[in-house]
Amino acid sequence: VEHAKPSMSVFAEDEQAKEKWVQQCFEAMIENSAEYRRLVLDYFSKYYYVEKNEFDFKTLGDYYSYLNDNDIRSLKGDKVKSFGELYIANWLFYHGIDYHYEAPYKIAVKTIERSQYKPDFYLPEYDIYIEYYGIDEAGNTAPYIDKAQYHGAIDWKNTTHASNNTHCIALTYGQHKQGKLLSELEQALLSANIQTQILPVESLLESLKETGRITVLAALFSQLLSLYKAAYLTDADEVDVIKRSLDAKQTTQALALLKPIISNYNAYLQQRGEIDFEDMISKAISYVESGQFVSPWRYIMVDEFQDISHARARLVKALRDSRKGCSVFAVGD
């Protein structure tokens, strides 16, 4: 149709070269666009993991297995025990507030029956503790947690702080569920005369680079770039993908970061007069479906049919339909 052999990009055969380009593009967009920086920081603080909470599981073991398997860590690197704790830790990190996660209470309160108390967070600069309790708006616990025992532990902690005149901010899953967790935290700190201000974006991004998260996300985007192009999605298809995903908000946020990279990637290839494998398939589909190319083949054979992508299946179907009497012979597991 084009009467000339296409020029293949090095990215079609060198995944590392493509990954390096994507990372450079990602970092350049972060540096040059304030809105993109905001999206990146929002993604890392709220959408990096597919959120599940303790009320979604049947046993405590299942819940902890999920946390361990997914290595849920704060931006500071602490391995946390809930998403509420994750958001609290990240909020403190973003506002430049130093914290110690599960550090021993400064006053010895351990007994033969009870080990030393370790509040969820301690803010050494302000001598303030923070506890995040897994109870909903009605005070209920997850079904596998003994409610009376849990509330007994809360009462003991409250009494301990009152007896030792230590300041503890109490937050709950119910507040997180209602979307008020971080506003409640900020208000509690303001009530303690602690003014908060988000760190400069440059400092936050430098911290993310140091932890390697920028590199990891760029590598993931390099893979998703090819998958997105290969899927040959319409706007309706994309909406459907978001609806069927495990976490629609996370998928939406990830696409908001990915699609500008794809646009830059396509522009880069076009500027160089090159295409990749995904472009080859999409061009072929376009030419066949528009009637610019009519298949000369009576039979089409497809091996490893079980692994065929949606785009490649669409191409095979278009080739078959372009010639009357054409048959497809497919082999698969």
- For residue 14, is it within any domain? no
pLDDT of residue 110: 94
Q: How many angstroms separate the Cα of 159 from the Cα of each of 135, 152, 165, 169?
A: 19, 11, 10, 13
Q: What strands, in cross-sheet order, belong to the sheet with 100-101?
A: 100-101, 121-123, 128-133, 167-172
Give residue 286's domain range: 277-330
Low-confidence ranges of the chain (pLDDT < 50): none
Q: For residue 219, with 0-12 CB atoms within 10 Å meaning exposed, 13-18 middle and 19 or more buried, which class applies?
A: middle
The total of structural domains in the chain comes to 1
pTM of the model: 0.77
- For residue 324, is it within any domain? yes
- For residue 307, is it within any domain? yes
- For residue 317, is it within any domain? yes
β-bridge partners, 169 = 130
3-state DSSP assignment of residue 46? helix
pLDDT of residue 210: 84
- For residue 322, is it within any domain? yes
CA dihedral 232, 238, 243, 249 (to 10 degrees): 120
pLDDT of residue 200: 83
Q: Are 47 and 250 in contact (CB under 8 A)?
A: yes
- For residue 264, is it within any domain? no
- For residue 297, is it within any domain? yes
Q: For residue 109, with 0-12 CB atoms within 10 Å meaning exposed, 13-18 middle and 19 or more buried, which class applies?
A: middle
pLDDT of residue 176: 96
pLDDT of residue 26: 95
